[in-house]
Amino acid sequence: MATCLHAAGVSFAVLGQEESCTGDPARRMGNDYVFQILAGGAVETLNRYDMSSRTIVTACPHCFNTIGNEYGQLGGSFRIVHHSTYLAELVASGRLATLPEDAASSTGDHRPGSVTVHDSCYLARYNGVIAAPRDVLGAAGVELVEMDASGRNTFCCGAGGGRMWMEETRGTRINVERTRQVLETGASTVATACPFCMVMLSDGLAASDGGSAVAAMDISEVLAARLAATPPERQLPVV
């Protein structure tokens, strides 16, 4: 993501050591006391900066939903956008140029193979962000292969509601079932826009026959690999 922001000439910074969990997992697991502590601390941290003219960009749909839809209850009114939407806007405005479909990237790779999209529940189902991830992948020139369960009808990766930290002892693990659906498409890559989903899909691929032939990538990684001009690596600026 930082590579794409640098390439587009975006002025940005990260919170560094001041950044903490938004509290989303605690609230979903029913521990609202811990959520109040974590969220209250995050709101206090953000309010120390002049956020009136700044936009928060997050690569996590859980953070996007919590900060955008729940922090207002705690005195935190912030302008926040998911990175899929922000990247799609940068591409549409011409600030991010990508390689022609038949051109090799700086790593020698040609046009990426077929890609299937896993929609995050908090992104697609809760907040209606469906087109943006596909617009980003389209800009990267991928061949998109959709799963039957996609968009608002997406199939959960199994991490939501705090279930990432729960052991399933009966039936088929949710991420294994979703991975089966990924493999059925025949795509060489599954792209997502959520770190929770990335963990679950990576684990599912590792545990599945044929999963080693499929890569799990964030949409920003797919786009960054096809940028016409890749900026030199640099240290992330901290506010």
Annotated domain spans of the chain: 2-87, 101-224
Q: What span, in angstroms and rounded, lies between the C-alpha atoms of 183 and 204? A: 10
Q: What was the pLDDT predicted at 104?
A: 60
* pLDDT for position 110: 46
Which DSSP category does 156 fall into? Answer: P
Tell me the per-residue pLDDT of 150-197, one tens digit each, with 9 for 90 and over. Answer: 999 999 999 987 777 777 777 788 999 999 999 999 999 999 999 999
Looking at residue 112, its pLDDT comes to 63
DSSP 39-93: HHHHHHHHHTS-GGG--EEES-HHHHHHHHHTGGGGT----EEEHHHHHHHHHHT
pLDDT, position 106: 56
pTM over 0.75: yes
Contact 49, 239 (CB under 8 A): yes
pLDDT of residue 172: 82
Cβ-Cβ contacts under 8 Å for 107 (sequence gap 6 or more): 225
How many residues in total does the chain contain?
Answer: 239
What whole-number distance in Å separates Cα of residue 103 and Cα of residue 10? Answer: 26
The rounded distance, in Å, linking the Cα atoms of 7 and 1 is 10
**188 token code pair:** 């060489």
Cβ of 225: how many Cβ atoms within 10 Å?
Answer: 18
| Beta-bridge mates of residue 114 | 143
Write down the pLDDT at residue 162: 74
Question: Between the CA atoms of 45, 49, 50 and 54, what dihedral angle is there, to the nearest 10 degrees?
Answer: -80
Looking at the structure, give the CATH architecture of the domain made up of residues 101-224: 3-Layer(aba) Sandwich (3.40)
pLDDT score of 91: 97
Alpha carbon distance 216, 192 (integer Å): 8
pLDDT less than 50: residues of the chain: 110
Q: How many CA atoms are closer than 13 Å to the CA of 159, on its beta-carbon side?
A: 21
What is the C-alpha to C-alpha distance for residues 163 and 174, in angstroms, rounded to an integer? 10
Residue 71, pLDDT score: 97
Tokens found for residue 96: 């991010």
Are 106 and 230 spatial neighbours (Cβ–Cβ below 8 Å)? yes
